[in-house]
Every structure is written in structure tokens, then in C-alpha cells.
Amino acid sequence: MVQCNNQSTPPPVTVFVLLGFPALQEAPLPLFFIFLALYTLIVLGNVVILVAVVGDPRLHKPMYFFLCNLSALDILFTTTTVPKMLAMFLFQHNAISFAGCFLQMYSFHTLTVMESFILVVMAYDRYEAICHPLHYPSRMTPQANASLAAGAWTMALIIPAPVIVETAQLEYTARALVEHCFCDHLAVVRAACQDAGSKQQTFIGFCIAMTVSLVPLLLVLFSYGRILVSVVKIASQEGRTKAFSTCTSHLLVVGTYYSSIAVAYVSYRMEMAIDLHVLSNVIFAILTPMLNPLIYTLRNKDVKEAIKTVSLKVFLLLKNF
């Protein structure tokens, strides 16, 4: 925490200053090109998924509707942080306004919560498809799918808001130094003046983060526990393999997401260099959005065929044009 000067009226906050990677201050261009390449892969990969699902009627199913939500979410998730990081690396624009910092913080944590909820909804979809196949068409209607997605987005927008608002009420110096590449909640709280309120915010923010991570994880595990029981009851080996194969991509995404959360959690609980702490959080912000399109492209036959079909249509359209 920062110790403020003793005065009756603290200076107004004008900017937060992002410190980035302190040990890599002399290598901004390599960092810029690395993060630019990763961001490009994330955007292109998820756009390809969106175009393939929208453009191929065979993929107009609940599972791929939620996949579209996930892809759009991943694009927004990285766009809240990476463009500012690129400006910081290339132009040394480390400053961010008070409003800009808290908007970035709110967007980042809202989309983090949303990712957890979408993974739960996708697990529920697989549960209905495998455990109740006869009722699946009547239960997972377009209206039901839209309601599930809208409910997830609504809760994700509401949950982080109180903590973000309270964090904005903390006392900061005129140029608050944030030991991070973006305005992460705990990093901003640590930049506040040292008082009981900032310590309380750290604890509350940590508890909420664990709740919105662990509760969805338990729901996903519960869904797959029921799925496993249903799959085991299928008589033929071929039927069991086919039923569970539809879940492998989602399980890989869940594993990647929660592995990156675990890395970020360990970094907060252990004493380590600032650069390693920042890197662990950057991995969380980039790894899952980058791997999701690869997982669904490489592991899902329907998505691969849809990408080929849409690519051929685009090629023919451009050729005729």
C-alpha cells in the first residue's frame, strides 16, 4: 500500500500509471510484437469461429450458439486490456485516467465472471443433450438458449459492480502507481493509500473472485458427473465414445480456463517478483481466449467442416468479384 501525505484534503487523482514489466523496460518492441501477434491470433481465431457458426446452417444448434457467445466474449475480454498494453509498449503511454482505469477494471472482471457462467451454461447444454436426449429439443429451444445467455450476461454485469464502486472510493495519490499491465482490481487496491479500507477491499475482492470461480466450477463438475453416469449406462462402446466425444472440447476449455486461474491465484498467495506476478495474470487474460478457437477447430469435426465450407464460399465470392 501507498502512504499518503498528511493533509486535510488529498490531491485529486488525475492518472494511474501502469508499471508493466519492470524487468523488461528495456525491451518494449519485442513485447509489443509478441502481444500484437497473440492479440491478432485471438481476434482472427474467434472471428473465424463466429463466421463459421453463423454461415453454416448445420451449426445452428444450442451448443454452437453458446460457442458464439464464448468467442464474442473472448474478443471483448482481450480487447479490454491488450490494446492499452500495446500502446504502453510501443509509445510508453503508461498513464490511464481514473475513469478509464475503473472502466477497464469493471469490463475485465465482468467478462471474467461471464466466462465462468458461459462455461456452466455449455456444461448444462451437454448435460441435457446426453442425459435427456428425448427432451433436449423441447428444453433447449432458441428462446431458452437466449434466456440462459441473457441471464449469464446480466449476472456478470451486476456482480463486480459493488466492489468496483467501493474501490473507486478509496484514497489515491495524484499519480497512483499500479504494478501491472492493466487495471486489475487487486493491483489498483494495492496502489491506494494505506488504510483499513484498502485491506478490506483486497479481502472482499478476493472472496468474490473465488466465489465466482469455484461455484461455477462445482456446477460444471456436477454436470459432468451426471453425464459420466449416463454415458456409463450406454450399452455399446461406440455409443459411449460418441456421446462423450461431444464434451471433450468443452472439457479442454474448462481445464485451460481454471488452470490459468490457478496460476493467477498462486501468484497472489506467494511472495514472488513483480514481473512473475504480472505475467501470471497476463497469462490468465490471454491464454484461454487464444486456445479456445484452436481447441474447437482441432477437436470438433463439425466446426472444421464449417470453416472449410465458409472459406470456400468466401474464396469463390472473391474470385468472382
Domain ranges of the chain: 15-320
Which residues lie across from 193 on neighbouring strands? 2
pTM summary value: 0.85
Average pLDDT over residues 296-310: 77
Q: Does position 72 have pLDDT exceeding 90, yes or no?
A: yes
Are residues 289 and 78 in contact, defined by beta-carbon separation less than 8 angstroms? Answer: yes
Q: Does position 235 have pLDDT exceeding 70, yes or no?
A: no
Q: Of 7-11, 23-27, 131-135, 209-213, which has the strongest mean pLDDT?
A: 131-135
Are residues 171 and 195 in contact, defined by beta-carbon separation less than 8 angstroms? Answer: yes
**Residue listed under C-alpha cell 482505469:** 101
Q: Does position 140 have pLDDT exceeding 60, yes or no?
A: yes
126-153 b/e with 16+ CB inside 10 Å = b?
bbbbbbeeeebeeebeeeebeebbeebb
Provide the greatest CA pair distance for the chain: 76
Are residues 311 and 49 in contact, defined by beta-carbon separation less than 8 angstroms? Answer: no
Average pLDDT over residues 138-147: 92
What are the φ/ψ torsions at residue 80 (nearest 5 degrees)?
Answer: -70, -25
Q: How far is CA 104 from the centre of its chain?
A: 13
pLDDT for residue 71? 92
Residue 268 vs residue 17, higher pLDDT? 17
Cβ neighbours of residue 288 closer than 8 Å, sequence gap 6 or more: 74, 115, 253, 256, 257, 260
pLDDT tens readout for residues 155-204: 999 988 888 888 888 888 888 888 888 888 888 888 887 664 556 666 66
Mean pLDDT of the chain: 82
Average pLDDT over residues 62-86: 91
Residue 11 vs residue 83, higher pLDDT? 83
Q: Does position 130 have pLDDT exceeding 80, yes or no?
A: yes
| Fold (topology level) of 15-320 | Rhopdopsin 7-helix transmembrane proteins (1.20.1070)
Average pLDDT over residues 237-264: 78
Residue 52 vs residue 199, higher pLDDT? 52
